[in-house]
Amino acid sequence: MAKRKVGQQTIKLESAPYIISSYSIVGPKEGSGPLLKYFDSIVQDDYFGEESWEKAESKMMIEAIKYSIKNSNLGIENIDFLLAGDLLNQLISSNFAARALQIPFFGLYGACSTMAESLSLGSVLIDGGYADKVVCSTSSHFSSAERQYRSPLEQGGQRPLYSQWTVTGAGATVLSDIGEGPRITYITTGKVMDFGIKDANNMGAAMAPAAADTIIAHLNDTGRQATYYDLIITGDLAKVGMDITIELVKTKGYNIESVYNDCGSIIFDNKKQDTHSGGSGCGCSAVVLNGYLLKEMKKRTFNKILFVGTGALLSPISSFQGESIPCIAHAVSIENDLRV
């Protein structure tokens, strides 16, 4: 087995790269939800001064990346690589952000798991000595996603109560070989799971098996119990998917219930904000991580987090062609006070 692998799907990062900086920017709906005080910037107009939602989304990613770098007291020229992705076809938010920033760029796609995917590959680049500093970023936008994946907003279609609401926002994380901050200790890379769900509104149920599979793989590979973590947080299964994940993980002998939460379940007040089952989109786990979670880690509310990005890898075309929804989850272990 490869010397830095632990078990079948997990990599141990011996040097435990530091998260030295992060930044989150959200739209008005997210900025009036329960996590509002954690976001670094709240945009009041979801066009963000641009002519289209797609351009607004890209601008949000650019802002998140720029300010995450600025907050780390580095310049853009100090960043070795940018790893980024988003939900838009051909990753246009990320591509145009990479054009604006001129950082050597790896484009990634893992749907809503992309934040965890970018942290996974970014921390490997640092840990292996291939980079000193990388930025990881993802974004999503309710209005650009809705018209791409579902139907024109002007149509005013009804959405089922188990559907999720795509978050408008972007998050960015700066990883470093040296410095201060929480550290990335393990990554667990997911396999694609598909239990046959075909309803593209029911993402939570579709993604739960992937989330459960990766959580189980992580615990098996590292020999840790679920309660080693102060928090195991998926992003984004919302209410429906959370319950299924707890049950699926239980079948393999692990009980995560007491430490488990989900980014999509905490970003909105679902009843007051009419967001049905909860939040979703690359931007959801990105802003919950870079807003809420990392700030609470700094305050030591949480010292050990397993951040599990979950993505539904369908496209409208695959659904039209009768396919079920393939899903993936990637886990990233983030820890304070590491004894190396």
CB of 335 to its own copies, least distance (A): 19
Residue among 112, 104, 121, 106 at smallest CA distance from 17: 121
Pair type for strands 133-140 and 169-176: antiparallel
Of 2 and 340, nearer to its own copies (C-beta) is 2
Residues found near its own copies in the complex (CB under 8 A): 1-5, 8-9, 11, 51-52, 54-55, 80-81, 85, 87-92, 95-96, 98-99, 102-111, 117, 120-121, 124-132, 148, 177, 189-194, 313-318, 321, 323, 326, 328
Of 4 and 300, nearer to its own copies (C-beta) is 4
CB of 90 to its own copies, least distance (A): 4
Cite the beta strand spans of 177-262 per DSSP E: 183-188, 231-235, 260-262
CB of 320 to its own copies, least distance (A): 9
d(CA 102, CA 76): 8
CB of 264 to its own copies, least distance (A): 19
Identify the burial level of 154 via C-beta atoms within 10 angstroms of its C-beta, where 0-12 means exposed, 13-18 middle and 19 or more buried: exposed
d(CA 145, CA 41): 21
d(CA 76, CA 66): 8
CB of 229 to its own copies, least distance (A): 21
CB of 308 to its own copies, least distance (A): 14
Of 113 and 202, nearer to its own copies (C-beta) is 113
Q: Kindly provide the b/e burial profile for residues 128-148, where b requires at least 16 CB atoms within 10 angstroms of the residue's own CB.
A: eeebbbbbbbbbbbbbbbbbb
H or E stretch at 134: strand 133-140
d(CA 249, CA 144): 34
Of 5 and 272, nearer to its own copies (C-beta) is 5
Of 128 and 157, nearer to its own copies (C-beta) is 128
Of 99 and 272, nearer to its own copies (C-beta) is 99
